[in-house]
Amino acid sequence: MLCISLWQPWASLWACGAKIHETRAWPVPAKIDGRALLGATIAIHAAKRVERAEAGARLAEICRARWGAGWERILPRGAVVGTGRLTACWRTGERYRSIGADEEALGNWSPGRYAWQLADAKPLLRPVPWRGQQGWFEVSDDALTAPPAAPMQRALP
């Protein structure tokens, strides 16, 4: 499955459906390795970088409401966190006024950018550790469909 890496909290917000659009400076490619992206289910990877409070007060508010105080420390990093179906790509400004205040706070809607629209967002029960990359990369379907591993147990003395 094709995968895209995003900084946290953008990755978790997109994977859980709290954020519908990912805004980028480039449009969704028509095809990668012969596979069409629009209409396809993609994987969402959380990079190791976390966007902190400097991204804006509304972002911090949304994250605190969803994950509590200290969300910067608890969100998974370096892992695939969810999947969704990429349904549209449009230039910012075309439908900018109809996105809503929260969605506006969760993206960079500057002129000349692109909004990638996601539907059927599904966060994974347990993040799958995976090394991210820039641009699109492949993630094993088996890794995403395998039953979640048991939580690690602390060794007794």
DSSP string, 19-63: --EEEESSPPPSEETTEE-TT-EEEEEEEEEE--GGG-HHHHHHH
Range 56-69 average pLDDT = 90
Structural domain total, the chain: 1
Alpha-carbon distance 48 to 149, whole Å?
21
26, part of any domain: yes
153, part of any domain: no
150, part of any domain: no
Whole-model pTM?
0.87
Core vs surface per residue 66-84: b (16+ CB within 10 A) or e: ebeeebeeebbbbbbbbbb
135, part of any domain: yes
CATH, residue 39: 2.30.130.30
* pLDDT at residue 26, as a whole number: 95
Angle, CA of 130, 108 and 32, to the nearest 5°: 45
* pLDDT at residue 96, as a whole number: 57
**Residue 140: enclosing H or E segment and its boundaries?**
none
75, part of any domain: yes
Range 96-125 average pLDDT = 87
35, part of any domain: yes
157, part of any domain: no
Neighbouring C-beta atoms of residue 44, cutoff 10 Å: 27
| Domain extent at residue 135 | 2-145
115, part of any domain: yes
